[in-house]
Amino acid sequence: MKPRNKFEKEILKASESLKPISEKQIKWGYRHAVSHFGRRNSDGTILCAECGHRYHTSGKGEHSICPKCHTRLTIGNNPRQRKFKEQDYFAVVDTCKGYQVVRYIMVYHTATIGKEPEYSHCEVMQRWIAPNGGKVTFARMRQTLGTMYYDLWIPSSELTLRRENQIYGYIETPFTYPRMNLLPMFRKLGLKNGTFGIDPQRLMDYVKDNNRAETLLKVGQTKLLKLFMDDTAKDIENYWASIRICIRNHYKVTKASEWCDYIDTLKYLGKDVHNAKYVCPTDIIKAHNKAMRKALNIAEMEEISGKTPEFLAKEMRYKMAKGMFFGLIFTDGEITVRVIESVKDMVLEGKAMHHCVGTYYDKAKSLILSATINSARVETVEVNLDTLKVVQSRGVNNQNTPQHDRIVDLVNSNARLIKERMTA
Ligand SMILES: [Zn+2]
């Protein structure tokens, strides 16, 4: 395409002095942008397609490090596969005549067992960015006829100024050559520290007009940054107060999606999301799961108090099945054991005792009773309605209490009263 304006003319002129991609950069791309292959043979050995070395390993994973050439191999498990192929991009971030240039190089890799691995490359696209934000694209032609792929580049075509096409925006790579040349405006945004598996151009665009993102990049909260870039349903503002606490406490978020989930849950639980005690947990997975369990309990409570039709139906079923036992009370003067008379009480019992009796309301063969001393819960008792025997009696956290044997005896000795209710 011929340049249509002064800006395009200037860039076309500048492009004449752009240096070719260096040998060192290409070598880096061959190493990092594509997988290297190994094959697991039927005898369990691994054949490295990179150097031809065959070695034994106890590992069964998808990846393995070749002990000879130290390449990280992606392992194919078909012992008959001879050929492995992959292609992918890497980016080189460069400057030229006062413009920022993001260059995309496609690496083509073929590994054939018993042969030297083959690598080739082709620089397929350049995005030229002016300090004022203007952009133009240099690209090769793509094969578009009869294919749904948008990146079948034609290496023999010319890398030249092309009319903008949204396809160019789809070309992305997590692999960026680590030594980047940056215009001062991008250097100032904190981009000099790397791209952290994010496409460099996308990262520049995102950080440029977003102070929050710029801060995340500068303080190294790159997992969070990547999450907010990828998950547009998440609003960075909702988390900002907590993120500031993390930054102040030098707490690095390593599992961004779990962390955001966790913060949402803390809010739901009414916890202080400005408090480092909550916001910076040592073990995020553990803290996340704990908060989640709590939130689920609350949801359960809301179900009970809200009297949803589903919950009322549960109550109804329970009453039909176990109503004949309601009102049964055994006592030895100190311990009182009574039948639990509603699903709601069953759920409350389970919550208070930290065990799962709350789900027992629909067990046809079970009768659940609560043992108390002076109205305080001691154990929860399950009686099998066929044998009329106590099948379990558990205190808090499923532990037995000092009163355990007395409770079991009290219920077993009153089994006759249960029986009477069944035949009445
Ligand atoms: Zn090797």
Cα(117) to ligand 1 centroid in Å equals 11
Cα(422) to ligand 1 centroid in Å equals 75
Residues 47 and 130 in one domain: yes
Residues 113 and 36 in one domain: yes
Could you give the CA distance from residue 268 to residue 23 in angstroms, rounded to a whole number? Answer: 55
Residues 225 and 352 in one domain: no
The reported pLDDT for the residue numbered 367 is 94
The reported pLDDT for the residue numbered 364 is 85
The overall pTM is greater than 0.85: no
Residue 183 forms part of a structural domain: no
Cα(47) to ligand 1 centroid in Å equals 8
Could you give the CA distance from residue 8 to residue 134 in angstroms, rounded to a whole number? Answer: 10
Could you give the CA distance from residue 279 to residue 287 in angstroms, rounded to a whole number? Answer: 10
Cα(73) to ligand 1 centroid in Å equals 8
Question: Which of 261, 295, 329 delimits the end of a domain?
Answer: 295
Cα(74) to ligand 1 centroid in Å equals 12
Cα(65) to ligand 1 centroid in Å equals 8
Residues 239 and 352 in one domain: no
- Separation in Å, CA 16 to CA 122, 131, 160, 164, 260: 18, 19, 11, 20, 47
Long-range Cβ contacts of 64-70 (<8 Å, 24+ apart): 64/38, 66/38
Query: What is the per-residue pLDDT across 315-365, written as a single tens digit (0 to 9) for each?
Result: 889 988 999 999 999 999 999 999 999 988 888 888 788 776 767 777 888
Residue 344 forms part of a structural domain: yes
List all residues 6 or more positions away from 384 whose beta carbon is below 8 Å from its beta carbon: 365, 366, 391
The reported pLDDT for the residue numbered 377 is 93
Low-confidence residues of the chain, pLDDT below 50? none
The reported pLDDT for the residue numbered 424 is 67
Residues 144 and 25 in one domain: yes
Cα(80) to ligand 1 centroid in Å equals 19
Cα(180) to ligand 1 centroid in Å equals 30
Cα(49) to ligand 1 centroid in Å equals 7
Residue 179 forms part of a structural domain: no
The reported pLDDT for the residue numbered 28 is 97
Question: Which of 170, 195, 222 delimits the end of a domain?
Answer: 170
Cα(45) to ligand 1 centroid in Å equals 13
- DSSP label at 77? -
Residue 199 forms part of a structural domain: no
For the chain, what is the domain count? 3
Cα(197) to ligand 1 centroid in Å equals 26
The reported pLDDT for the residue numbered 237 is 93
Residues 12 and 150 in one domain: yes
Give me the domain span that covers residue 161.
Answer: 6-170
Residues 136 and 15 in one domain: yes
The reported pLDDT for the residue numbered 386 is 83
